[in-house]
Each structure stands twice: as C-alpha cells, then as structure tokens.
Amino acid sequence: MPRILFLAVLSVVLLGADEGGCGDSSAPPPPLVECTPESCAGCCQGTTCIPGNTTNACGNSGIYCSACLGLTTCDVERRACAPDLAARVAIQPAQATLSTQDPNDNLDWDVDGSAPDVVVELRCPTPSGEPLVTRTPEVSSWTPQWTAGECAAPAALLLAQPIELKVLDIDALVDDEVGTIKHLLTLEELTAGKVALSLPPAIPSLTVTLTRAR
Ligand SMILES: [Ca+2]
Ligand SMILES: [Ca+2]
C-alpha cells in the first residue's frame, strides 16, 4: 500500500510538471475559418460566405444572412431586403376604434344607443384607372375587427396613387358616414406590412394590414 500511494503521488507530481511544458511542444492550432466583412462580399451563414442574393438568405459585406419577409424581397444588386415593387398587395382593414358618439351631433351612433354597425368601403387603384371597390363585412362594435373585404393592387401602383377608406355606420334608411381617409402608401409602410391611420375625433384609429396577395 505505501508503495502504491508513493507511485500515485509521484504520478501527480510528474503530470503537474508535464502540464506546464505542454504548449511548447504541440503544433499551432489550424486558423479559424471565419466569415468577415474583409473576406465576404455576400453574407455569412455561420462561418460560410454565400452570395446573399436570395429571398431566404440576403445580405452584403459579410453580415449575417437574413430572410426577406412579408412584402420585401432581396435586391440582388444591393444584396439587401427591399420592398418588392412587383408584388401584388392585399389591403385589409384590420381594426378600428370609433368615438363613443357621432361627433357631428354628439348623439349615439344609433338611436337605441347600441354599437355602430361598421363597414369599411375600400377604393384601390387599378392599372385601368377605374378604382376597385370592396367592402368589409358589417361588425357591430366601437372597436370592430375584420379579416375579409380586402382589395389588391400592384405595389408600384400603390406608391403612385392613394387608396381611399370610407368608414360607414350601416343604418336602416341612410347610413352614417363616419369618415373617409385617403392615403398614399409609403415604402416604409410596405416594408412594415401595416398602416396606422386615424381621422379624429370620429376615428381615433384605423389599422390596415398589407400582405402578399394570393
Ligand atoms: Ca347610425
Ligand atoms: Ca347603425
């Protein structure tokens, strides 16, 4: 037993001594393969440099590749995500907030005091010049939401000609016009896929979503 213990202690001492000199004799590590702004004109997928000119992997100057989402696509010359001007855009009123009463007469939207019955009538530009008119379903609420009634138009046309949104409270005889908003889309809104509108005091907010038309 004492002999085994002695050998154990000796081996620890020797190993400890060996550890100190280890680095001197071993070969230098192979250089790391890296993707950097200096080494890559496209974008980096992990440590691999790829061209960076596709919708799924877009980027330049050795940044991390990103996917171009929504209405954006990879601009192959700049190798950067940018609004896809060739896309057909579906314009969908998503939600609105209406004032509690009609600000024109400070009376309830409907005589029985119930919620307004809200419809958005959309006018979208078309290449022929005659606007395309669509309507959302009727939703009885001061904060209506919709998932139908979209209209679609080419992105390039939407940057040149405004859309028009007429908000109505449907009534038995004559509908109340809550308000009408004309809006020319911006590149930023196309990129974001969303437009935040308002027409106070009757319409504190009206949100419209922009998606790729199917
Ligand atoms: Ca009414
Ligand atoms: Ca009504």
- How far is the centre of ligand 2, averaged over its atoms, from the C-alpha of 138 (Å)? 10
- How far is the centre of ligand 2, averaged over its atoms, from the C-alpha of 199 (Å)? 19
Running DSSP on this structure, what letter comes out for residue 66? B
Report which bound ligand comes closest to the CA of 104.
1
Same domain, yes or no, for 159 and 69?
no
Same domain, yes or no, for 55 and 112?
no
| Arithmetic mean of pLDDT over the chain | 89
Phi and psi at 91, nearest 5°, equal -110, 115
Question: What is the spatial distance between Cα 134 and Cα 132, in angstroms, rounded to a whole number?
Answer: 7
User: Is residue 157 situated within a structural domain?
Assistant: yes
Nearest CA among 74, 82, 93 for reference residue 151: 93
pLDDT at 21: 40
Question: What is the spatial distance between Cα 35 and Cα 7, in angstroms, rounded to a whole number?
Answer: 50
Question: What is the spatial distance between Cα 174 and Cα 63, in angstroms, rounded to a whole number?
Answer: 58
- How far is the centre of ligand 2, averaged over its atoms, from the C-alpha of 152 (Å)? 28
Q: Of 83, 108, 143, which marks where a domain is finished? A: 83
Q: What value does the CA radius of gyration of the chain take, rounded to a whole number of Å?
A: 32
Same domain, yes or no, for 100 and 140?
yes
Cβ burial of 7 (10 Å; 0-12, 13-18, 19+) is: exposed
Report which bound ligand comes closest to the CA of 108.
1
Q: What is the 3-state secondary structure (H, E, C) of 87-108?
A: CEEEEEEEEEECCCEECCCCEE
Per the structure, the count of domains in the chain is: 2
User: Is residue 35 situated within a structural domain?
Assistant: no
Please determine, for residue 66, whether its predicted confidence score (pLDDT) is greater than 80. yes
* Sequence-separated contacts (24+) of 133-141 with Cβ below 8 Å: 136/93, 138/170, 140/114, 140/115, 140/116, 141/115, 141/116
Same domain, yes or no, for 95 and 140?
yes
How many Cβ atoms from other residues are within 10 Å of residue 186's Cβ?
13
- How far is the centre of ligand 1, averaged over its atoms, from the C-alpha of 110 (Å)? 4
pLDDT at 212: 96
Q: Of 62, 83, 104, which marks where a domain is finished? A: 83
pLDDT tens-place string over residues 156-212: 999 999 999 999 999 999 999 999 999 999 999 999 999 999 999 999 999 999 999
Please determine, for residue 6, whether its predicted confidence score (pLDDT) is greater than 90. no
Range of the domain at 127: 88-212
pLDDT tens-place string over residues 92-105: 999 999 999 999 99
